[in-house]
Amino acid sequence: MVAMLAGSAASIDRALQATEAALAANAQRLVALDLLQQDLHSPAVIVDFRETLIRQTATLSSVISLSILDSQGHWTISSRFRIIPVIPANPRRPIWNAALHTPPSRSFVFGPGAPSAIDMKSFGVGRSARAADGRILGGALAFLSTDDIKRSFQAIDTEGGTVIASNPDGETLFALPSDTARIPAWARTRWNEERSEGGNSFEISDPEGHGWLVAVAASRDSPLVFTSIKSVDSVFESRRQFATTVFLSTAIALIATVTLFALWVRQQCLTHRKTLIAAAARERLISNLSLDPSTKLYNRAGLEKQLVQRDSVARPRALLMIGIDRFQEIAHALGNSTADQILSEVASRLGESAGPRCLAAHLGAGEFCVAQYDEDPEYLARKLLWTLSQPHRSTGRDLLFGVSVGISGGVQDLQAAQQEASAAMVRARAAGLGNLRWFDPALDRQIQDSMLIEQELRAAIGTDALYMDYQPILALETNRIAGFEALMRWKSASRGVVPPDVFIPIAESAGILLPVARMVRRSPLQAAAAWPQDIFVSINCPAYEFKDSSLPQRIRDQLRTTGVSAERCCIEVTESALLENDEIVLGVMRELKDIGIRLALDDFGTGHASLSYLRTFPFDRIKIDRSFIQGMNSDTTAAAIVNATLTLSRHMRLEVIAEGVETHEQLQRLKELGCDYAQGYLISRPLGEKDIQTFLGDFSAEPRPVADTPDEMKLVALQR
């Protein structure tokens, strides 16, 4: 019975792995919607999301429906219902409470039962979705047919015992022969011990002294626990009856004794065989938890386990990280089923090329790893590049795509080697399709450091570690402070103050440069609310925000909340935003202008199309890049560009802000040319919010230079 229990449990766990993969994908989509500021309740999002759920449900066995909860735990989208039925309120909200208290990396089960609108006996599996700052974004749910799952246990002869499927807390989801069965309280302590260790069988006595045989099949990676409970008396009843028969038969005839002895030997052989089958089934169950279901290769946990086991015999000569170039784009364009076929064929080719002595694993997202023991690592890498770049025909068409390989040699520490091989793979991919690179400490430490910075930055979002400093902007005609530019700063617990030119590009490339109001606890508009009414605040917006039609409304809401007038708000636009989509960006900018917000073109003169942008987009100001201001007094070309920019701006009725002003000569020259504003270390370094009022009270119209020597000038440029 233990063997059949383990086999049935393994079958169900394989089905659940596919279901959990779908839940993880849907939870990740909730995170993507949040990053893009898209409303889950909008009709377009609901229709698109529901179509995805319907397709997923069709491919998942035993799944009745897939559903989505919003950030308040309300049932929002279902593959089964176009219009969500009204469900009676449950003040305990067990499903939502489970989502709140389960880490997003793990699934939870709930049941038995389901929303009353689902007219089938079912239990559910769920996974929560959380933003980088820890906010709950919602949850993805799957309802599974209890009757379908029970069929996996039909081969089990309960023989007077009970089979129970439960969650890790012991709550019964379904049971055979009756769903009313529960795990007895007197067996709970021992049951919990065996469950936490991955499952086993044990004997235990109840309070009345009766013996029971309990078998547990569990996995740390599965949300289900399978238990069989059977009376010891019933287990050995047949043996006692058999012994009585032998005793009586011996008195009748010797031939009967011999026959019964042969039967007894057969019975012992069958018992031994069942024990071996149970052990093998348990080993298969444990093995399945170490395999990736889409490729049948080891997953990350399985690879680490195999490397540890082999470490006493030999260590790998090298670790190869193989990445399918642009795999996510391929998956989005061709669909998940095609992507799965590609992964399966890549895994097959990988196994054939690497050979039996190597360990191959699929780590997810189109990335594979090979621990190499025999061949020369570079020879193997080039063989893999050639093999994997051949046309893939498993999808019914010829598909060509490149792969990149990173190699880490002299493996001493597995985790470090994986990081090194990953960094080398990133560098290989940057060099162009179909390249390989060895790990080079001089080149790849920076990539590794960037990966670590990205992880630390994700944790800093929305905390006091990210904050705003404000650099004063001087009106040259009145010699008064006219505004402040808001500049994001990051003080890392392990790195100290990280320069913006280090973490801002990393945040942009990783897609975690969110709207300023979400990155920091106090937004620039909240700070500006305490300033004098004639002082404006200038805010830099990431390029992607100008592709979001909700930007004007979000800024309008922030202005209303803080009480800051729109005329005091200026948004700085980088040229990268204008390159994305002229029509969408232009529409967003016009809406901002209608609100009364001013727009400034940042770093004017450094792009290839700055003049055409002035004609196309409704700017109020331009900011001359600091490189021209720095060279204005020594470089005739830089001086000519500054002069021409100021002349052009007067004809177009645009205000001009000169960045990077650091000497009196630069300031005086800008005044003579008729520049409107100046910004730089000559006026002031960026200030903390608490220092602004004091600065305004003490500011002198004759600022002193802060950088008089080449070393100080270099320091100024770095701190900017």
**Cα(first)–Cα(last) distance of the chain, in Å?**
71
pLDDT at 593: 92
Q: What is the CATH number that goes with domain 300-439?
A: 3.30.70.270
Model confidence at 682, pLDDT cuts 50, 70, 90, reads: very high
- The predicted-structure confidence for 80-137, as pLDDT tens digits, reads as follows 888 888 777 777 788 888 888 888 878 888 876 545 456 667 788 899 998 888 889 9
Which helix H or strand E contains 572, and what residues bound it?
A: strand 569-573
Say whether pLDDT at 157 is over 60: no
pLDDT at 283: 53
- The predicted-structure confidence for 269-314, as pLDDT tens digits, reads as follows 666 566 556 555 555 545 556 788 778 888 887 888 888 777 766 7
| Residue that has been written with the tokens 């199309």 in this structure | 609
Model confidence at 680, pLDDT cuts 50, 70, 90, reads: very high
What span, in angstroms and rounded, lies between the C-alpha atoms of 496 and 491? 5
Our measurement of the distance from residue 273's CA atom to the centroid of its chain's CA atoms, rounded to an integer in Å, reads: 46
DSSP β-bridge partners for residue 537: 484, 569
Token pair for residue 277?
Answer: 């089958």
Dump strand ranges (E) for 119-252: 122-130, 136-145, 162-166, 172-176, 201-205, 211-217, 225-231
DSSP β-bridge partners for residue 63: 144
pLDDT at 479: 92
- The predicted-structure confidence for 388-407, as pLDDT tens digits, reads as follows 888 877 656 777 888 899 99
**Which of 3.20.20.450, 3.40.50.720, 3.40.50.1390, 3.30.1490.20 is the CATH number of 465-719?**
3.20.20.450
pLDDT at 681: 93
Cis peptide before 524 (omega within 30 of 0): no
**245 or 505, which is more confident:** 505
Does 2-149 match 150-288 in CATH topology? yes
Say whether pLDDT at 481 is over 90: yes
The SS3 call for residue 123 is strand
Model confidence at 144, pLDDT cuts 50, 70, 90, reads: confident
pLDDT at 646: 92
The SS3 call for residue 364 is strand
Decide if domain 150-288 falls under CATH 3.30.450.20.
Answer: yes
pLDDT at 183: 85
Decide if domain 2-149 falls under CATH 3.30.450.20.
Answer: yes
Q: What is the mean pLDDT of residues 579-585?
A: 68
DSSP class of residue 237? Answer: H
Q: Most confidently modeled of 32-36, 431-435, 511-515, 524-528?
A: 524-528
> What is the percent of the chain where pLDDT is above 90?
19
> What is the percent of the chain where pLDDT is above 70?
81
Domain regions of the chain by residue span: 2-149, 150-288, 300-439, 465-719
Q: What is the mean pLDDT of residues 197-218?
A: 80
Say whether pLDDT at 717 is over 50: no
**6 or 612, which is more confident:** 612
Token pair for residue 583?
Answer: 């029509």
Vertex 582: Cα angle to 650 and 599 (nearest 5): 40
- The predicted-structure confidence for 328-377, as pLDDT tens digits, reads as follows 777 777 777 788 888 888 888 888 888 777 888 888 778 898 988 877 88
pLDDT at 120: 66
| Residue that has been written with the tokens 């600022």 in this structure | 703
Mean pLDDT of the chain: 79
